[in-house]
Amino acid sequence: MMIVDLIDGDDFRMRLVALGVHIPEGAGPDTCARMALCKHRGEGVEGLKELVDELVSRSDILLPSVRQAIDQYLLPALNEPK
C-alpha cells in the first residue's frame, strides 16, 4: 500500500511563507492565497508562479480547498498579460 502526503492548507501556507509572504498561523487556503496575491501585486513574490505551477501539476495530491483558492485568486493574476 502506498501512502501519499496530501498538500493541505498548512503545507500551502508554509510554502508561501518560505517565499516571503507573511501569513498568520492557522490561516486557511483562501486567506493564504489572498495574502500572496496582495504581496504579489504590491512588490512581487519571487517563485510564486513556479510554486503555483508545481501545485497545479500535482492536483492529484492537492486538497480541493487549496486548489479552489489557487484557481480563484492566484491563477488569474499570474496569467494576466504584463
Q: Quick one: the chain helix, strand, coil %, rounded to 5?
A: 60, 0, 40
| Domain locations in the chain as residue ranges | 13-78
pLDDT of 5 reads 82
Backbone dihedral region of 69: left (phi > 0), alpha (psi from -120 to 50 degrees) or beta? Answer: alpha
pLDDT of 2 reads 58
Q: Each residue's pLDDT tens digit in the chain (82 positions)?
A: 556 688 999 999 999 999 999 999 999 999 999 999 999 999 999 999 999 999 999 988 999 999 999 999 999 999 876 5
pLDDT of 79 reads 85
pLDDT of 71 reads 96
Residue in this structure with the C-alpha cell 496569467, named with its chain if needed? 79
